[in-house]
Homo-oligomer: A and B are copies of this chain.
């Protein structure tokens, strides 16, 4: 049913994909352990809200629905989290000029300060994790990781809307 993978494409290399999968699994476990450890220490913001704050800081003002879609969470969850961040003064709600029902969530000055402080601590931890990397390896890894993250995101979106090409016979 699916077309043959292009010459040189990753799909032609199942063994290499399997090796990558093992390492991604190890990385997921390492990140999980790190997260658990960080959650025990105190922080300005609870763990789950980091994602919200960082994404808005990266992407600029968004509506609740758009934010939820990008984070892969339910709008109800996103609503509660952003409400809490508004209460703490890290986010503000701007009226959406196009739609009276919605508002745009924007990071406040104080929110940007918190993000900057958290990023700094994150850089310190990360610098220790890549201590043995040369500059070239660092740059190469970053570029490949960017493509990988894009691919993950794209694969997720594709599986949510399973009807792009022409014919589809899912359910």
Contact = CB atoms under 8 A, between A and B. Distances in A.
Interface of A: 5, 8-14, 16-37, 51, 54-55, 58, 70-73, 119, 122-123, 125-135, 137-142, 144-149, 151-156, 158-160
Given A34-B72, A34-B152, A127-B11, A20 B158 contact: no
Contact of A25 (B26, B34, B54, B148): B54
A21 B32 CA distance: 16
Given A25-B54, A71-B33, A148-B141, A9 B132 contact: yes
A129 B146 contact: no
Given A10-B133, A127-B17, A133-B10, A145 B24 contact: yes
Nearest to A144: B141
Nearest to A26: B149
A12 B138 CA distance: 11
A19 B143 CA distance: 9
A13 B145 CA distance: 18
22 contacts: A9-B132, A10-B138, A11-B127, A16-B138, A17-B123, A21-B126, A22-B58, A23-B146, A24-B126, A27-B145, A29-B54, A32-B72, A34-B72, A36-B72, A36-B73, A37-B160, A128-B151, A128-B158, A130-B148, A140-B144, A141-B141, A141-B144
Q: Which 5 A-B pairs have the closest CB atoms?
A: A33-B72, A129-B151, A27-B149, A30-B152, A10-B130
